[in-house]
Amino acid sequence: MSAETPSEPPRQVERVHERWPGNETFLCRGRIVAGPRPRAAFATATLITVPTGIFLGLVAPVVVETQGVWVYAVASALAGNSLIWLFKTSFTDPGILPRLERRSVGTSSNRGKTRDCVVETTGKITTTRWNDTCGYFQPPRAHHCSVCNDCIEKFDHYCPWTGTTIGLRNYRAFLSFVFGTAAYCVFIATECGYGVSYETKKTGSIGEGFKRSGPAIGVFIVAALGFLFVGALSGFHAYLISTNQTTYESFRDAHGWSANPYNTGSIVKNCLEVWFARVPRAKVRFNATTEEDDSAERFERALRASERATLDASRQRQQQQRAESSSIELAEAV
């Protein structure tokens, strides 16, 4: 009888997220991408749910005596809206860009170098920087986040309240969270103030009314402090949207209206670009196997196409400058 050959153990399939060098947290085998500190999102959710519970349980029963049960519905809807956009922001790939292999020793010589690039939406020229970690000149508006250790498309900032980086793919969700939370704080503070006023009139004494309104006063303080933060943040991002800037660009470059290469020249168009432009697919398939992942190749082809577009635009500018100088010389000769 021939000896039985031992069967080979099944080869373990390695997925992209298992070897990814960044600091992100991956869930569901790479289908969900969170930031380095996803627990921060749950801590922020606690700051929303605890005051909401106190309001619904102790303040709203007093308010509904004169205003009706719609107070429960509005408070629950606004709180739910904030929580949904909070977790949407925290557990969405912000726009992580692939990493390219260094095919030559000379790539390190590009460190600190810059290159001109054409902005697709405006046709203007901007400067991009070499990313030595990822091995390429960063696309316009991209920046390497030091917290998550990845290059992020249209990098805005790292948000400690959501525990993740804010970029192209989760910026709209972040704005919805900030603006929605600001509206919620205004509603809660207003209703708590009304509750205190109602108890004061009901008892006929300011002191007695304040004693019976302890929960309303506490929630009012929390909502007011929350609005001071998210309200100011809402105003700042409203300005950024109208001028088509990111938080990082506003602090690093401080472009004026005309000098900003991403400004379309219209507040309406700038707002439409932020709120209604199609959110692109993730550049990296973290749930794919390493064998079937081709994100780096596709991204490299896109970079080369962008370089060709920049060269074409540069040639066109040179031709226009030559034509203008020739017309000026001809006019002077005449």
Asked about 159 being catalytic, the answer comes back as yes
pLDDT over 60 (residue 4): no
Residue 322 sits at the vertex; the CA angle it makes with 319 and 326, to the nearest 5 degrees, is: 140
List the beta bridge partners of residue 117: 126
Cβ count within 10 A of residue 6: 6
Q: How far apart are CA 78 and CA 86, in angstroms?
A: 12
Q: Which of 6-15, 227-236, 303-312 has the highest mean pLDDT?
A: 227-236
Residue 80 sits at the vertex; the CA angle it makes with 75 and 82, to the nearest 5 degrees, is: 100
pTM for the whole structure: 0.86
Give the pLDDT score at 106.
Answer: 47
Query: What residue spans of the chain are helical by DSSP H?
Result: 16-19, 39-54, 60-67, 70-90, 171-203, 206-211, 214-243, 247-252, 267-276, 295-333
Give the pLDDT score at 128.
Answer: 84
User: Which candidate in 159, 185, 192, 271 is catalytic?
Assistant: 159
Please state the domain extents for the chain.
22-317
Give the pLDDT score at 204.
Answer: 80
Give the tens place of pLDDT for each residue, 17-67: 999 999 999 999 999 999 999 999 999 999 999 999 999 999 999 998 889
Helices 171-203 and 39-54, axial angle in degrees (round to 10): 20
Give the tens place of pLDDT for each residue, 172-184: 999 999 999 999 9
Give the pLDDT score at 95.
Answer: 95
- The amino acid occupying position 154 is K
Question: What percent of the chain is modeled with pLDDT above 70?
Answer: 87
Query: End-to-end CA distance of the chain, in Å?
Result: 106
Residue 326 corresponds to which tokens in the numbers above? 């020739």
Binned at pLDDT 50, 70 and 90, residue 8 comes out as low
Higher pLDDT among residues 125 and 184, named by residue: 184
Helix (H, G, I), strand (E, B) or coil at 247: helix
How far does CA 119 lie from the centroid of its chain?
20
- The amino acid occupying position 147 is V
Higher pLDDT among residues 207 and 176, named by residue: 176
